[in-house]
């Protein structure tokens, strides 16, 4: 055990972990958000070009480019949530969800019925389009390049604001995994080839891989894959040894960790059901993880490494 059996150290580690997360957030989170907003701005500008600055938004166009629906929802006053659009337009939920999640149109729907549903969506969007953003629509005029750029930036900011937490969480996860990779490579480990599917039970000693699918058996016998952030085969591993499994976790406050700790408990339960009671899952923590969270994980037999003490990875046999 690395940290789960040392509750006398938890309080000091929590303080240091919070400080580390806050330092990263202040110095690097704004850039991560700006980078995402810049990409979103390009997508909005592309959508505006396709619709001729929203002057040619029709059902047939929406059918051809369903992926722009989230942009259109953020172009109204006020911005419309997905379920709110379904209610306002009176359309079938499946249509909106396909367009939003898959960027596609339901294939089995009759063309006439589909057109009618899309026309309802277009009618709501155009009725509620924000005139303070798209200033050229009322009264109708040709927009300037500056006006289009300003509108695209505002809509992109709305898009990113709606998913700000995932943007920050994904950036933090990338940074955490990069830290693990750097630590491993400084000790002679090598990454598995990118683009090649990794079979975690066939990894060679001294190798690691990120986001590996591990098959587990659920209740009822159904087999599914669960993603593991970092899978590492120690240098000293022998044939048929089980690799180390590490989940990178970060949290920007103390209030949202309860749900996640239950997900981790479910994951270790599935792993142990499939591969035996001796199976271990370790966490790589940075941020707001309090004693309640740590105690819960310890009770489930889950250990952890604090990112601010990354050299503790060596205690896992690496």
Predicted confidence (pLDDT) per residue in 162-204, tens digit: 777 788 888 899 999 999 999 999 999 999 876 566 777 788 8
Pair 138, 252 in one domain: no
Do 248 and 296 lie in a common domain?
yes
Q: Order of strands, edge to edge, in the sheet holding 223-233?
A: 190-191, 207-217, 223-233, 244-251, 282-287, 303-306
191/217 same-domain check: yes
The answer on 201 and 111 residing in a single domain is: no
- pLDDT values of the chain reduced to their tens digit, one per residue, 318 residues: 889 999 999 999 999 999 999 999 888 888 888 888 888 899 999 999 988 898 888 888 888 899 999 999 999 999 998 899 999 999 999 999 899 888 888 888 888 899 999 999 999 999 999 998 999 988 888 899 899 999 999 999 888 877 777 888 888 999 999 999 999 999 999 998 765 667 777 888 999 999 888 888 877 778 888 889 999 999 988 877 888 999 999 888 887 777 777 788 888 888 888 888 888 889 999 999 989 899 989 998 899 999 999 999 999 988
Co-location of 171 and 291 in the same domain: yes
Domain match, 104 and 123 both: yes
- Of 128, 163, 198, the one marking the end of a domain is 163
Per the structure, how many domains does the chain have? 2
Whether 2 is covered by a domain: the verdict is: no
Q: Does 44 reside within a domain? A: yes
Q: Report pLDDT for 305.
A: 95
The answer to whether the CB of 260 falls within 8 A of the CB of 229 is no
Beta carbons within 8 Å of 80's beta carbon, 6+ residues apart: 73, 88, 124, 128
Q: Is position 220 within any domain?
A: yes
157 and 171 together in one domain: no
Is the same domain home to 213 and 285? yes
Mark which of 98, 128, 163 sits at the end of a domain: 163
Are 146 and 184 within one domain? no
- Whether the CB-CB separation of 95 and 129 falls below 8 Å is answered with no
Domain edge (last residue) among 131, 163, 195? 163
CATH code where residue 218 lies = 3.40.1350.10
Same domain, 242 and 225: yes
Residues 120 and 214 in one domain: no
Tell me how far apart the alpha carbons of residues 190 and 303 are, in angstroms, rounded to a whole number. Answer: 24
191 and 254 together in one domain: yes
The boundaries of the domain holding residue 127 are 33-163
């Amino acid at each position: 055990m690395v940290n789960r059996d040392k509750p006398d150290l938890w309080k000091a580690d929590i303080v240091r972990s919070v400080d580390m997360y806050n330092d990263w957030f202040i110095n690097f989170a704004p850039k991560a958000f700006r980078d995402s907003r810049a990409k979103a701005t390009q997508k909005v500008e592309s959508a505006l070009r396709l619709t001729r600055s929203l002057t040619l938004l029709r059902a047939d166009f929406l059918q051809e480019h369903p992926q722009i629906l989230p942009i259109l929802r953020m172009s109204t006053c006020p911005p419309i949530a997905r379920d709110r659009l379904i209610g306002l337009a009176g359309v079938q939920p499946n249509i909106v969800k396909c367009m939003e999640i898959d960027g596609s149109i339901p294939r089995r729907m009759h063309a006439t019925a589909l057109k009618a549903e899309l026309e309802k969506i277009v009618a709501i969007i155009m009725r509620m389009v924000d005139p303070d953003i798209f200033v050229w629509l009322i009264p109708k005029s040709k927009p300037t390049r500056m006006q289009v750029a300003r509108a695209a930036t505002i809509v992109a900011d709305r898009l990113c604001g709606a998913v700000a937490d995932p943007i920050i969480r994904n950036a933090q996860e990338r940074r955490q995994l990069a830290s693990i990779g750097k630590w491993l490579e400084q000790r002679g480990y090598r990454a598995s080839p990118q683009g090649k599917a990794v079979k975690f039970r066939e990894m060679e000693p001294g190798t690691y891989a990120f986001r590996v699918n591990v098959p587990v058996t659920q209740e009822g016998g159904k087999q599914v894959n669960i993603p593991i952030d970092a899978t590492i085969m120690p240098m000293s591993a022998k044939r048929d040894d089980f690799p180390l499994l590490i989940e990178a976790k970060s949290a920007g406050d103390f209030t949202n960790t309860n749900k996640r700790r239950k997900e981790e408990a479910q994951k270790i339960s599935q792993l142990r059901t499939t591969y035996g009671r001796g199976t271990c899952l370790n966490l790589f923590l940075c941020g707001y993880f309090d004693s309640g969270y740590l105690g819960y994980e310890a009770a489930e037999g889950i250990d952890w490494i604090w990112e601010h003490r990354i050299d503790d990875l060596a205690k896992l046999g690496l």
